[in-house]
Amino acid sequence: MIVITTPTGRIGRQVLDHVLDATDGRTPVRVIARDPGRLTPGVRERAEVFQGSHADPDVLGAACAGADRVFWLVPPAPGAGSVEGHFRDFSLPLCEVIGRQGVERVVAVSTVGRGVAKNAGQVSASLAMDDRIAATGVHYRAVCPPFLMENLLGQAEALRSSGESSMPLTVDRVLRTCATGDIAATAARLLLDGSWTGRADVPVVGPDDLTPEGMARVVSDVLGRAVRVRRITPEDYRAGALRFGASEAMAQGLADMAAAMDEQGFYGPTEPSTPDTAPTGFRQWCETVLRPAVLS
């Protein structure tokens, strides 16, 4: 039995679709959803639904009863009081369930940067989560992307109105990227494969060698209009997060993450592309995902 968290999220929804299509009812699938009404009728017909948060030990324990595989993703929580506390509050109930109920394999979404990233806000908290879960002895795979292409969807309105995007990063330095579709496909493949054991990271790094300025040129070509990228400071990034309702702690975590990315380079050119797990190029993603979002 497979348990899938965040089934209505950008990544979890795609993982769920892959798993349901591949198993076609042969393997029971359960999902944990805060709002089951956001699940499609097809999903509700083919998966057993548990309503609530997977940070709730009772909900998680019930959903994992008899399950041997779990897809794990800690959802964003802009209002949380602590970055590390947010990740810890989600992962500790999972660790308890693993020890009590015998879950055999966990596939989680994490990040590249292990052994490199220091004081990096949400990146550091995610890497610490990996260590916490793996310490239970469960067979564990951390799917590790760099910068998500889908992060640019949050700037669709700015691209539409002013032709400008902003990043708290050096704009002429290579930034490795990945599409969420590749993350989901990789996670689903691991969930459906019962042969792997132990702990390992699975990098999911796209094929491009683009700087943010180079990405802006690609976006310009795809949209058919001039697009530019403006560098902002980590403090600007923090202030913007606060304006959009983030807590002080989460906004500072984002600023720390941006500063660490820029200074430590763990999303940079030294991270090799992984064509087997991340075949989607940035131009392809722009054509299929970003362009419709900007022009809608």
**271 in a structural domain:** no
**198 in a structural domain:** yes
Which has the higher per-residue pLDDT, 26 or 148?
148
Read off the pLDDT band of 102 (50, 70, 90): confident
Q: Which residue from 127, 22, 30 is spatially nearest to 69, judged by alpha carbons?
A: 30
Containing H/E element for 4?
A: strand 2-5
**9 in a structural domain:** yes
| 17 neighbors 44 (Cβ within 8 angstroms) | no
Contacts of residue 234, defined as CB under 8 A and 6 or more positions apart, other chains included, come to 168, 255, 256, 258, 259, 262
Containing H/E element for 71?
A: strand 69-72
pLDDT at site 24? 81
pLDDT at site 25? 79
Residue range 34-88, pLDDT digits in tens: 999 999 999 999 999 999 999 999 999 999 999 999 999 999 999 999 999 999 9
**20 in a structural domain:** yes
**254 in a structural domain:** no
Classify residue 191 by burial, with Cβ atoms within 10 Å: 0-12, 13-18, 19+.
buried
Read off the pLDDT band of 5 (50, 70, 90): very high
Mean pLDDT over each residue of the chain, to the nearest integer = 96
| Segment 103-123 mean pLDDT | 97
Read off the pLDDT band of 120 (50, 70, 90): very high
Tokens of 69: 């595989």
Containing H/E element for 259?
A: helix 248-264
Residue range 141-196, pLDDT digits in tens: 999 999 999 999 999 999 999 999 999 999 999 999 999 999 999 999 999 999 99
**How much of the chain is in helix, strand and coil states, percent to nearest 5?**
45, 15, 40
Number of domains forming the structure of the chain: 1
Residue range 248-260, pLDDT digits in tens: 999 999 999 999 9
Domain containing residue 136: CATH number: 3.40.50.720
**229 in a structural domain:** no
**51 in a structural domain:** yes
Domain encompassing residue 50: 2-147+178-203
Task: Give the integer Cα–Cα distance in Å for 61 and 65.
Answer: 6
Read off the pLDDT band of 237 (50, 70, 90): very high
**117 in a structural domain:** yes
Question: Interior CA angle at 150 toward 186 and 31, to 5°?
Answer: 50
Q: How far apart are the first and last CA of the chain?
A: 39
pLDDT at site 158? 94
pLDDT at site 10? 96
